[in-house]
Structure 1
């Protein structure tokens, strides 16, 4: 007799539980100890995959509150809060965030906390710490550290491996070092250095299965050729602004012109007006499930006293229709203000 559902073998019971949406699993743990063990087991998630059930979530972390991540479920239009990231650094920021193998990874960064007396940052030096959140056990764990401490760097998943490159080892020292992480073996492998480095923030975007690194204010793009383990330099003439990839198409939100552009070969196509975001700073822009999400950020108060209003709203640009339109998703329930990390997670 099954310890999960009376009258059913455990294997069948797990298949039944596999159809339960992820957001309900914490409540089902309260049924019994055996249900809790089953719901936090790898067997349940293998059963989910066997029946073809996957759920896509958006992972977001902002400056407020400290080291907190939330998951957005687009089907339920709701936010779930994860356990606090157990890093000893307060307000970890300028880190890399990606997901692989049902795990959210938070890599590197530095403290963005401000001393209330002096107004100085807590820590000018970057860390090489790597944390992962396991969606099965719903726990954080520390993984093998990066070979080079870094913050404000490019971070992507390429061919099932995490690739990091560039960034700053301290607040004033940039690096051209690159490395690759194998999550199954929990090891880091050095890669060839970037051909060019700059004293500015860089981001990584995956287009056509290749990692593209672009520095703020620079026109050149450095492309990682994973088959040959080398970098090549291109000048694509990308527009300045907040960049995101939907499918294999690059979108840019220009905060000076108030438009969202789509790259169309060598040209740029105006997709939609976005003047409602011109006053906003510190927001995230990410492609998710065929749409473009604008999340959080801050705006200056109309009182003229320099105060900043922390935002938690989520605007979504529907790109599936012939004429793209904006709509609102549920606001973040805990996170607000400047977005520090944003990525998607498949469970």
Structure 2
């Protein structure tokens, strides 16, 4: 019989391996076949939870290169590259992305690759496909498809389940349909529709345990507190711009400043003037910080190329005076950010 570590029960040895940082797991897998099997087992993920050694990573997908995701490890200030998402859709974009149950989920969306002859989005504006990446076995797998194909929709996690709402099925048809997914049962179920749709993309935010569906340019916010009771409509005079949630508080970047939104009041936190020239970036709450990632800068002259950014700027909010710093730039991804989410492993 082969033991993970001679003289130590495997259950204890597994808890020892669970304390090793995730970025070293490929090295652990080279030690022996039994260590390789342990590193790629769901038991290791459970053990990491038990010994409280889970780590938080930032997952990023950008327009360039196609269908590629990277993980940022803040403890090591390093980027890890995942296997390419094996979707048949070229340049998958306008999808929903969340993490739950230790996995990264990519939902719906359509192609951002335009046929130069017809101008069509590669024949696919919206899909209902769902992919899950398991960081333990390091593989993508198809999961149950959504009931309705959609792109540019709101997507959040509530109590471990994924809720999707709104969006578009074609470039001209917005929808009010909403549904919820149980990752353990791999099943989608329809829930109450949104009260209204709007001819613009929507996004989802979780604030105080409630899902908020926000449409660009609208003050109306639709809120889901209880799945069985459905959505309620609220009027919020929130500042318009890229939004993220940090420690339960809403932050917005607008007109060269980052604001903290508190109910109907807002206050300036710090200047973000340097980002006014950048578009297509991600603004993401991560721990106590706000990360501003990637994007593009337009040409200053007509004969200049668009600059695809891989920079990562971090605003630390925990101190009395928030300060900016730079983290390691993305090593593979660059340009417009298509998806950004936190993943615990």
TM-score range, shorter chain: over 0.9
RMSD: 1.3
- The match for 1:224 is 224
SS of corresponding position for 1:169: strand
Q: Give ranges in structure 2 of 5+ residues lacking alignment.
A: none
Q: Give ranges in structure 1 of 5+ residues lacking alignment.
A: none
SS of corresponding position for 1:80: strand
| 1:309 aligned residue (307, 310, 316) | 307
SS of corresponding position for 2:240: coil
- The match for 1:100 is 100
Matches within 5 A, 1:1-347: 2-116=2-116, 120-226=120-226, 228-254=228-254, 257-305=255-303, 307-347=305-345
Deviations 1:181-206 (A, max 9, x none): 01111101101110010010100000
Q: Which moved more, 1:204-213 or 1:6-15?
A: 6-15
The question of whether the paired residues in 1 share the 8 Å contact of 2:191 and 2:227 is answered with no
Alpha-carbon distance, 1:172 to partner: 1.4
For these two proteins, the number of residue pairs brought into alignment is 345
2: distance between equivalents of 1:209 and 1:67?
31
Alpha-carbon distance, 1:117 to partner: 5.2
SS of corresponding position for 1:43: helix
TM-score (norm 1): 0.97
TM-score (norm 2): 0.97
1: distance between equivalents of 2:137 and 2:293?
27
Runs of 4+ in 1 over 3 A off after TM superposition: 116-120
Q: Which moved more, 1:240-249 or 1:225-234?
A: 225-234
Cα distance change of structure 1 residues 279 and 35 upon mapping to structure 2, 3 Å threshold = same
Alpha-carbon distance, 1:116 to partner: 4.7
SS of corresponding position for 1:157: strand
2: distance between equivalents of 1:52 and 1:302?
49
Alpha-carbon distance, 1:127 to partner: 0.2
Cα distance change of structure 1 residues 105 and 55 upon mapping to structure 2, 3 Å threshold = same
1: distance between equivalents of 2:20 and 2:77?
16
1: distance between equivalents of 2:24 and 2:73?
11
1: distance between equivalents of 2:41 and 2:53?
16
Alpha-carbon distance, 1:135 to partner: 1.4
Q: Which moved more, 1:109-118 or 1:182-191?
A: 109-118
Deviations 1:3-22 (A, max 9, x none): 32222221222121111100
Deviations 1:50-90 (A, max 9, x none): 21111000000000111000011111110100001010001
Q: Which moved more, 1:110-119 or 1:150-159?
A: 110-119
1: distance between equivalents of 2:201 and 2:232?
19
